[in-house]
Amino acid sequence: MKMKNSSRLLITLSATFLLAAVAQAQLGAGWTQITPTERFEYESNDVLKTISPPPSSFNNGDCEYDNTGGIETFQLLNHHSNRAEIRPNDDYSSGSRQFEADVLISSPSANESIHQIFNGPTGPWLIVREQTNSGGSIRMGGGTSSGILASNLYGNWFRLNSINDMNNNQTYIYVNGNLVWQGTNPGGTFYTKYGCYGTLGAASAKIQFRNAKLFSGGTTNGIGLDGNFELKNEASGLVLNNQGSLTNGSAVTQWTQGSSVNLQWTFIPTTDGYYQINSVKSGKDAVVQSASTANGAGIIQWSFGSSGDDQWRPIWNTDGSITLFNLNSGKVLEDPGSSTSKTTQMDQWDSNGGANQKWNLISE
């Protein structure tokens, strides 16, 4: 999306405002809401049971489900049950599907699956699982890869969208309207599940869904990390800068936000939710110098290679900013010492939640 400098879209907003913005409609274009019949699935003492259609409330002493005012509450009460889920009867093998819901994870819920896309009798192709790390976070599990997708979620409503597109065999996960994971689906027949599923790993497990919906027939239509961006550091207020260089090895610094292509970057997906951060000016990537795994190693630009030091996973924070984790080192891109100098070279450091490690995406 091209916008004049005076009206650029600041993607990073407060969590509340951002959620309100994306809550207006499903992601992408051309979607039609569908309302398939559903069934409630639960387990007691390893026996799977089904109630169709789902009840408005259910409690057998082992698990609980309640649907009041558009909010569905799923709880595991003890170790006799490991499942309380809604299973829409939406089996499909062509076209596209989107699941959308606002989700609230209550502490101390641990390691529960909140959303699954099943690959027919093969089992779950995709599992979104919550965990206790980083103030309550979600990650990929099951037949997909691991890795934190969003953090500091305990007690905070967030928007979850999944899109499974059979036209291009791609599956996408979005949190608060931001693309946090993309993968190639195996084809075949699929269906959707959501709720609370997994061995009770804490004193209790409670997951809530608000306005859960299904859509079909649409496309992603360029949403997510497509296009050119400036990356604005929360501590310095300056943006990532390649300094106009076209050569390998030149330092990546920061500069005042402006219209120069030196300040513009694109996200090129690689695998498992990682991206090249590619300079529009040079066509080279932001990389950790010499593939270092040490704190303080500088960030330079270099042609894309195979060492993983040029691949970054964006993790969304609850304030809408992102933290960028390097594939090779596991450390994050930062403005060292929260410097406000335009000549400061960026570096990597252990993730600590500091403002100097948070970046706002500004669409060009």
Domain that holds residue 32: 15-216
Q: Is residue 292 included in any domain, yes or no? A: yes
**Where a domain ends, among 216, 242, 268?**
216
Residues 156, 40, single domain; the answer is yes
pLDDT at res. 202: 87
Q: What is the pLDDT of residues 118-146, one digit of tens each?
A: 998 888 889 999 999 889 999 988 655 55
In a domain, 4, yes or no: no
pLDDT tops 80 at residue 316 = no
In a domain, 3, yes or no: no
Q: From CA 21, how far away is CA 130, in angstroms rounded? A: 24
Are 236 and 212 part of one and the same domain? no
Nearest C-alpha neighbor of 161 from the set 146, 177, 181, 149: 177
**CATH classification of the domain holding 120:** 2.60.120.200
Report how far residue 44's alpha carbon sits from residue 267's, in angstroms, rounded to the nearest whole number: 46
pLDDT at 7: 27
Q: Answer whether residue 9 is part of any domain.
A: no
Q: Is 175 exposed, middle or buried (0-12, 13-18, 19+ CB in 10 A)?
A: buried
- pLDDT beyond 50 at 264: yes
For residues 205 and 279, membership in a common domain is answered with: no
First to last CA, the chain: 7
Does 20 have pLDDT greater than 80?
A: no
72 shares a domain with 206: yes
- Does residue 257 lie within any of the structural domains? yes
Which of residues 153, 185, 216 is at a domain's end?
A: 216
Q: What percent of the chain has pLDDT over 70?
A: 90
Burial 27-41 (b: 16+ CB within 10 A, else e): bbeebeeeeeebebb
Q: Say whether both 158 and 255 belong to one domain.
A: no
> DSSP for 289-327?
GGG--STTPBEEEE---SSSTT-EEEEE-TTS-EEEEET
Q: How does residue 35 score in pLDDT terms, banded at 50, 70 and 90?
A: very high
Q: 230 and 187, same structural domain?
A: no
Is the pLDDT score of 89 beyond 70? yes
d(CA 311, CA 304): 9
Report which of 122, 121, 124, 127 is spatially closest to residue 139, judged by C-alpha positions: 127
Amino acid identity, residue 250? S
Per-residue model confidence (pLDDT) at position 142: 63
Q: Is the pLDDT of residue 306 over 70?
A: yes
pTM, entire model: 0.63
Indicate the helix (H) or strand (E) that contains 59: strand 57-59
Q: Are 65 and 51 in contact (CB under 8 A)?
A: no
Count structural domains, the chain. 2
- Domain identity same for 171 and 282: no
- 8 within some domain: no
Residue type, 329: S
**Is residue 206 very low, low, confident or very high in pLDDT (cuts 50, 70, 90)?**
very high
Structural domain includes residue 109: yes
Is 146 in the same domain as 200?
A: yes
Same-domain check for residues 178 and 247 = no
